[in-house]
Amino acid sequence: MPRVALRDIHKRFGSTEALRGANLELAPGEIHAVLGENGAGKSTLVRALYGLVRPDRGEILIDGVPREISTPRRALELGIGLVHQHFMLVPALTVAENLLLGEPLPAFLRRAELRARAREILELYDLGLDPDAPADSLAVAERQRLEIVRALARGVGVLILDEPTAVLAPSEAAALLSLLPRLRERGTTVLFISHKLAEITAVCDRVTVLRAGRSVATRPVAGLAAAELGRWMVGEALPPPGSPPAMAAGAPALRLQDLRVPGLGGIDLELRAGEVLAIAGIDGNGQGPLEEVLAGVLPIGSGTLEVLRPPLAVLSGDRQRTGLVLDLSIGENLALSEAAGAGRERLYRYGFLRSSELQRVARESIARFEIRGAPDLQARALSGGNQQKLCVARALGGEPRVLVAVNPTRGLDVAATAAVREELRERARAGAAVLLISTDLDEVLELGTRVCVLFRGRLTAVEPERRTRERIGELMLGLGGA
Amino acid sequence: MKSWRAWIEPSLAVLIALGCAVLVLVLLGANPARALVALAGGAFGDRLALENTVVRMMPLALIGLGVSLAFRCGVWNIGGEGQLYLGALAATALGTRLLPDAPAAILIPVLLAGGALAGALWAGIAALLKTQRGVSEVLSTILLNFVAVLAVAWAVHGPLQELAGSYPQSDLLPEAGRLGIPPGLLRIHGGVVLVLLLPFAVWLLLFRSAVGLRLRAVGASPDAARYAGVSPEREVVRALLLSGGLAGLAGAIEIAGVTGRLFENLSPGYGFTAIAVSLLARLHPLGVLPAALFFAALASGSGAMQRVAGVPSVTVQVIEAIVIFLSVGFALAGRRS
């Protein structure tokens, strides 16, 4: 009998279907990996099992008994624990105190007793943690181990690790991976969320691949070809809904030479007018630093970055944090770039606002990009999709000749997605150079005149004759060779 | 739009605070009606009382204006008191030592500009510490207050002490450096023109200029502002300089319009009350005027309340404190909703 079984789980958030029929079975004492692209539904599935998300349909069986898991507390009662990417420790308390926090303890207890109990637990798992060290003095890997021990000390038999190595250095990641078989020996079942193929083949027993909210395959890891996993992850080739703009090799517009910053190891890239260069890749492989360095927010470590055909505009990948000032109105957000000194004097004269001109420009953008709001409405009051449209409107408002678009359609509905993609194509046709950084493979294939893949801070060009989902999927997982 | 909240909530804060004051007065065994009437009478009861209140309101309004402007940029300038002292010091030095014989047409603008400049430079120290060394401006501006107060104490015992040499105070400013009291008024001096005009100027700057949009963008989201091409550091420096300049101007006006000379304990904590003014005004440049009037009225009415109703004048501090708490509370609630 499976230890845990999730059957036909469905979950919809607003207009997006995160899960549409996902199945997952964990055998007792196995290390089971869940693999999938960004947005495939991995976190939603895990959150459903941990009581953070209530499925719309489907059932969860624990040891063969159907259970309703409505809260994390209920999940813990059933022996299911989750170690988050963001740790849930009290920084000012010691390792021992964090470990015993939430345990039934007498109202007053002696420090020595507390320490002795904590030491007992720590020795059981032999993880080299000092019970008296304050949690905020621990390195990231140590905090993670503390979280794991805490879960186990509470009697968790099914341990969920949500992308546990994403926050670790390579040597720390190796140490964590070596811990997993030891947990298995003790009978703990581990659910391991990752999109790093090497980790999965190194320690996992079985793997379930999620794609677009569905589980497409569950297989033993032994003897599995990596290329096959890549194909399951990205799916069979579908005809792209639109086609990339025809290559009209224009003048170079943006050139990066051996550009290095923390997280990026030597990027060489030449972007030409009239093309869309699409950079695919799984989040966390250097997209953030690349965006920031292009936006001029992150200083260049070494190498060169030349904008040969200014102005350059960045359509930020994080509309709430960096794309918009949420407390300002739609109109003020549109005016901000010009107020910062970029672009022509249009909305301001002698440094003072021409209100009627701003109203006119804002109304124009609102109509053109179908933003649901008036010029004076706070950006905070807009829905996510409308905020994204406002970001697009602002990035394009300065008539950029180099446009960097980061996940430009994330969170948009089908119609808005099509509109934004058509806008990017249109810009390229009109002679702008577009650099698209996207984790959405469909978007990359639909828009990219050329396609590259970013993996662990390095860029690999996809050969034009091998431009298939399969090939890109391989590169996204770091299977560069041949 | 929720513009009605901008008026309703501060009024509500004042009303609730007055309600609490009634409670406190009852607990003290006083007749609340009598005490509050005395308070109002002391603030607005006759021409002299009214004009005294307006004179007190002026530094509160100017410093509160600067505090609001800085807060809009996400900068907490707690150093209005010190900047006021430095402005007063500069104006006194200019008027009594450097340009004692200049005509009014030159001396008055020079005094006011010198005071503003001194306040701005004083705040500039905090700006430099923040942008170059990451020192919190809350700390540095508070600490600079002490330095400024001691600098004034040193000056009136030393280089700026009156030539007669008997008291720790400066000489009187020459007549040409005094802001006159217009005919028909008792106490209100010419500085009132600036106090009434500057809020509109700051409003224009904040809400109708490119500089203002940059300041507010930095205050609301430094990350997004930086992405849009704004340099948050530069705007922070600008906000602190403007804010300090307004407080320094208030100090110069206090010397040229009210006291005529520099001495220790020049300000009854205007720089601190101004923070409350700016909170009650919800950081709005025009709201600073009624808010400053309210706090000035409390200060000038409290003495009368003590005399007439036998209530300790510190009772008004209860009112002030509750107004501050409620203003902050409403602002936070407004942000959440």
Distance, CA of A147 to chain centre: 22
Task: Locate all alpha helices (DSSP H) within chain B, ordered by sequence.
Answer: 3-27, 32-44, 47-72, 80-93, 104-133, 137-157, 192-208, 210-220, 222-227, 232-253, 270-280, 288-309, 315-336
**A230-249 pLDDT, tens per residue?**
778 877 654 455 566 665 66
The residue of A325, A327, A338, A359 whose CB has the most chain B CBs within 10 angstroms, and thus the best one to mutate to test that interface, is A325
Q: Calculate how close chain B gets to A314, using CA atoms only, in Å.
A: 8
A356 and A293, same domain (yes or no): no
pTM over 0.80: no
pLDDT of amino acid B69: 97
Whether residue B220 and residue A322 make contact (CB cut-off 8 A), yes or no, is no
Domain that holds residue A208: 4-234
**B218-268 pLDDT, tens per residue?**
999 999 999 988 999 999 999 999 999 999 999 999 999 999 999 999 999
A41 pLDDT higher than 60: yes
A254 and A229, same domain (yes or no): no
Q: Identify the H or E element spanning A335.
A: helix A330-339
Closest CA to B21 of B299, B318, B305: B318
Task: Locate all alpha helices (DSSP H) within A186-234, ordered by sequence.
Answer: 197-203, 226-234
Rounded to whole angstroms, the Cα distance separating A251 from B124 reads 47
**B9-20 pLDDT, tens per residue?**
888 888 888 888
Furthest CA-CA distance within chain B: 62
Rounded to whole angstroms, the Cα distance separating B297 from B57 reads 8
Q: Is residue A292 part of a domain?
A: yes
Question: Is residue B187 classed exposed, middle or buried when 0-12, 13-18 and 19+ CB atoms within 10 A define those classes?
Answer: middle
Overall average pLDDT of the A178-189 stretch: 90
**Residue A396: which region, alpha, beta or left (left: phi > 0; alpha: psi -120 to 50)?**
alpha
Question: Which phi and psi (to 5°) does residue B189 adopt?
Answer: -100, 175
Residues in B closer than 8 angstroms to A352, CB to CB, are 204, 208-210
Q: Is residue A272 part of a domain?
A: yes
Q: Calculate how close chain B gets to A47, using CA atoms only, in Å.
A: 26
A139 pLDDT higher than 60: yes
Whether residue B214 and residue A297 make contact (CB cut-off 8 A), yes or no, is no
pLDDT of amino acid A229: 80
A126 and A181, same domain (yes or no): yes
Rounded to whole angstroms, the Cα distance separating B40 from B53 reads 11
User: Both tokens of residue A304?
Assistant: 């060169």
A93 and A159, same domain (yes or no): yes
Whether residue A337 and residue B217 make contact (CB cut-off 8 A), yes or no, is no
Report CA-CA distances (Å) from A462 to A3, A243, A475, B172. 42, 17, 8, 82
A158 and A279, same domain (yes or no): no
CATH of the domain at A425: 3.40.50.300
Whether the bond between A311 and the residue before it is cis, its omega within 30 degrees of 0, is yes
The residue of B1, B3, B223, B227 whose CB has the most chain A CBs within 10 angstroms, and thus the best one to mutate to test that interface, is B227
Rounded to whole angstroms, the Cα distance separating A335 from A317 reads 20
Q: Is residue A377 part of a domain?
A: yes
A333 and A383, same domain (yes or no): yes
**B298-318 pLDDT, tens per residue?**
999 988 888 888 888 888 888
A79 and A168, same domain (yes or no): yes
Residues in B closer than 8 angstroms to A341, CB to CB, are 229
Rounded to whole angstroms, the Cα distance separating A446 from B287 reads 54
Q: Which residue of A has its CA nearest to B228?
A: A337
Q: Is residue A146 part of a domain?
A: yes
Q: Is residue A239 part of a domain?
A: no
Confidence of residue B334 (pLDDT cuts 50, 70, 90): low
Closest CA to A297 of B226, B134, B220: B226
A407 and A295, same domain (yes or no): yes
A169 and A269, same domain (yes or no): no
Amino acid at A474: E
Whether residue A322 and residue B227 make contact (CB cut-off 8 A), yes or no, is yes
Write the residue in B214, B220, B230 that is nearest to A327 by C-beta.
B220
A338 pLDDT higher than 50: yes
User: Which residues lie below 8 Å from residue B265, measured CB to CB, with a gap of 6+?
Assistant: none
List beta partners, residue A269. A256
Closest CA to A407 of A446, A439, A441: A439
A223 and A253, same domain (yes or no): no
Among A159-168, A464-473, B40-49, B113-122, top mean pLDDT goes to B113-122
A 131-190 near B (Cβ less than 8 A): none
Work out the percent of chain B whose per-residue pLDDT is above 90: 73
**B206-219 pLDDT, tens per residue?**
999 999 999 999 99
Closest CA to A179 of A196, A208, A199: A199
pLDDT of amino acid A482: 45
A73 pLDDT higher than 60: yes
Whether residue A351 and residue B210 make contact (CB cut-off 8 A), yes or no, is yes
Q: A377, A398, A419 — which closes off a domain?
A: A398
Whether residue B224 and residue A314 make contact (CB cut-off 8 A), yes or no, is no
Rounded to whole angstroms, the Cα distance separating A309 from A431 reads 11
A82 and A202, same domain (yes or no): yes
Whether residue A337 and residue B209 make contact (CB cut-off 8 A), yes or no, is no
B327 pLDDT higher than 70: yes
Q: Is residue A317 part of a domain?
A: no
Confidence of residue A442 (pLDDT cuts 50, 70, 90): confident
| A391 in contact with chain B, both atoms CB, cutoff 8 A | no
Q: A234, A260, A278 — which closes off a domain?
A: A234
pLDDT of amino acid B143: 97
Instruction: State ipTM.
Output: 0.86
User: Which residues lie below 8 Å from residue A75, measured CB to CB, with a gap of 6+?
Assistant: A49, A50, A51, A69, A81, A82
Q: What is the DSSP string of A45-84?
A: HHHHHTTSS--SEEEEEETTEEE---SHHHHHHTTEEEE-
Q: Give the B-side interface with A, CB within 8 Å.
A: 1, 204, 208-211, 213-214, 216-217, 220-221, 223-230
The residue of B209, B213, B235, B238 whose CB has the most chain A CBs within 10 angstroms, and thus the best one to mutate to test that interface, is B213
Whether residue B230 and residue A336 make contact (CB cut-off 8 A), yes or no, is yes
The tally of domains found in chain A comes to: 3
A146 and A210, same domain (yes or no): yes
Q: Is residue A409 part of a domain?
A: yes
B82 pLDDT higher than 80: yes
Q: A234, A256, A277 — which closes off a domain?
A: A234
Report CA-CA distances (Å) from B337 to A268, A332, A380. 47, 21, 11
A 325-364 near B (Cβ less than 8 A): 325-328, 332, 335-342, 348, 351-353, 355
Rounded to whole angstroms, the Cα distance separating B320 from B325 reads 9
Whether residue B224 and residue A335 make contact (CB cut-off 8 A), yes or no, is no
| A125 in contact with chain B, both atoms CB, cutoff 8 A | no
Q: Is residue A176 part of a domain?
A: yes
